[in-house]
């Protein structure tokens, strides 16, 4: 009986962990605002209203206000090129320019002003 409980518990942990890993490894390919269970709940989606180059901080304005995010060396930045019907690619802090649509997910889901960004998706204008 103990063996069945242990196996069941292990299976639950493996299944739960693989879902999180799958989401993390495919996140860059999901367009802004369309991440299941994440977009709008654990992220801020809006327009970049200010960029502080020296501090590596971006300000995002959205429907209910604005929020800033610290972009560090660990922050993953992706370019959302879905509107141009192109695959998304890796980007850099230089791609975070004023006026672009952006989605920011914070480290440990700590969606507060000035918190460190886990990842940032930046919409690329159509060519």
Q: Which helix (H) or strand (E) holds 116?
A: strand 115-123
SS3 108: helix
Predicted structure pTM score: 0.79
26: which 2 tokens? Answer: 């495919």
pLDDT above 90 as % of the chain: 59
Rounded CA-CA distance 37/31 in Å is 14
Longest dimension (CA), the chain: 62
Residue 96: phi, psi to the nearest 5? -85, 85
pLDDT tens digits along 12-59:
444 444 444 455 668 989 999 999 988 888 898 999 999 999 999 999
Class of domain 2-123: mainly beta
């Amino acid at each position: 009986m103990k063996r069945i409980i242990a196996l069941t518990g292990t299976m639950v942990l493996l299944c739960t962990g693989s879902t999180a890993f799958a989401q993390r490894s495919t996140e860059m390919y999901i367009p802004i605002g369309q991440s299941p269970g994440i977009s709008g709940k654990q992220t801020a989606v809006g327009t970049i209203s200010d960029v502080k180059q020296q501090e590596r901080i971006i300000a995002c304005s959205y429907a209910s206000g604005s929020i800033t995010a610290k972009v560090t060396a660990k922050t993953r930045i992706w370019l959302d090129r879905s509107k141009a019907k192109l695959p998304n690619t890796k980007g850099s802090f230089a791609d975070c320019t004023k006026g672009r649509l952006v989605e920011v997910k914070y480290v440990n889901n700590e969606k507060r002003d000035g918190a460190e960004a886990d990842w940032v998706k930046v919409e690329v204008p159509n060519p």
